[in-house]
């Protein structure tokens, strides 16, 4: 696979997360509900060691609810407190707070048993780019938190956001890059918009989405574009192109425009609820 992050950046990100981890009692890992496995970073497991974590599957409004339910069952079986949310739903955010408070409480009780004076438990949010880290931090803080620390030359002290009396959150998230040794993982992440469109050719990503939907969500394909199957991917591009006015002079289809339409439809939820991976 041609995609490779610059190893220096990976090492720096890992170091930064490991530093911040020392400040917290537990971690809130964010993954994308449409691809909960591909949107994790296996490195987290290594640096977390014994630190407890809970998992929040973001963007559940775009994912297939039946598949999300299976993922939640799986992670809960693994002993990881997990929840799927839509960041704009207040009751979903309240449930995150409740879960975090419970996890923090366990940790505080352990400390209390060792004779440490009780204090608010502390957590940080970790996840890959674009998964929704800032959105969730702002929702938990109930206001917009400036991300000035990310700009070069701006030094910023770590700040704690008081979410509830018993629970505080670090105001900057930990960012870890996704890891893809398998080609399919790269396409899944590109489809959901985690990898920038410049990295994998968008026509290839759109073709991946159409093929995936043909095999798993043919009725959604039919609802949006009026076909549920095809023998040749070119036919699919042509049908969508004709329908949506992506014709160039001479009557040729503009494949780039068709790809933009497919990816925008998918990421904006217009293709319906689509999940790109199932638990084994």
Residues that bind ligand GTP (CB under 6 A): 58-59, 61-62, 86-87, 127, 129-135, 175
φ, ψ of residue 128 in degrees (nearest 5): -75, 165
CB of 13 to ligand GTP, least distance (A): 11
Distance CA 244, CA 200 (A): 24
Least gap, CB of 223 to ligand GTP (angstroms)? 19
Separation between Cα atoms, residue 114 and residue 108, nearest integer Å: 10
For ligand GTP, the closer CB: 130 or 254: 130
CA distance readout (Å), 118 to 77, 102, 107, 111, 163: 30, 15, 10, 8, 17
Q: How far apart are CA 4 and CA 270, in angstroms?
A: 31
Residue whose CB is less far from ligand GTP, 61 or 211? 61
Query: Is position 68 annotated in a ligand binding site?
Result: no
Q: Is 135 annotated as a binding residue?
A: yes
Q: Which residue has the tokens 């964010």?
A: 30
Q: Is 79 annotated as a binding residue?
A: no
Q: 226 or 269, CB closer to ligand GTP?
A: 269
How far apart (Å, rounded) are the C-alpha atoms in residues 109 and 107?
A: 5
Nearest-approach distance from CB 134 to ligand GTP, in angstroms: 3
139 or 202: CB nearest ligand GTP: 139
Q: Is 164 helix (H, G, I), strand (E, B) or coil?
A: strand
From the CB of 136, what's the least distance to ligand GTP, in Å? 7
Specify the residue, 104 or 127, whose C-beta has the smaller distance to ligand GTP.
127
CB 128 within 8 A of CB 176: yes
How do 160-164 and 167-170 pair as beta strands? antiparallel
Q: What is the closest distance, in whole angstroms, from the C-beta atom of residue 85 to ligand GTP in the complex?
A: 6
Q: Is 39 annotated as a binding residue?
A: no
22 is in an annotated binding site: no
User: Where is the binding site, in residues?
Assistant: 130-135, 174
User: Where is the binding site for GTP, in residues?
Assistant: 130-135, 174
């Amino acid at each position: 696979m041609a995609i490779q992050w610059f190893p220096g950046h990976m090492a720096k990100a890992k170091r930064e997360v490991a530093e911040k981890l020392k400040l917290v009692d537990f971690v809130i890992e964010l993954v994308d509900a449409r691809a909960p496995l591909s949107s994790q970073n296996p490195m987290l497991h290594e640096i977390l060691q014994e630190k407890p974590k809970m998992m929040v599957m973001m963007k559940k409004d775009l994912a297939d609810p039946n598949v999300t339910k299976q993922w939640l069952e799986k992670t809960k079986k693994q002993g990881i407190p997990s929840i799927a949310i839509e960041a704009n739903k207040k009751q979903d955010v309240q449930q995150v707070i409740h879960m975090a408070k419970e996890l923090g409480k366990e940790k505080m009780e352990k400390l209390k048993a060792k004779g440490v004076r009780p204090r608010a438990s502390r957590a940080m949010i970790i996840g890959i780019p674009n998964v929704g880290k800032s959105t969730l931090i702002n929702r938990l803080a109930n206001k917009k938190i400036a991300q000035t620390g990310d700009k070069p030359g701006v030094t910023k002290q770590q700040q704690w956001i008081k979410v509830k009396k018993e629970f505080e959150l670090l105001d900057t998230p930990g960012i870890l890059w996704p890891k893809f040794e398998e080609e399919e993982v790269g396409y899944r992440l590109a489809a959901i918009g985690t990898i920038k469109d410049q990295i994998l050719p968008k026509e290839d990503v759109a073709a991946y989405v159409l093929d995936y939907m043909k095999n798993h969500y043919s009725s959604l394909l039919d609802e949006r574009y009026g076909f549920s199957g095809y023998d040749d991917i070119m036919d699919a591009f042509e049908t969508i192109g004709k329908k949506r006015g992506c014709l160039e002079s001479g009557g040729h289809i503009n494949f780039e425009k068709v790809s933009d339409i497919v990816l925008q439809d998918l990421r904006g939820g217009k293709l319906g609820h689509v999940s790109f991976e199932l638990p084994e």
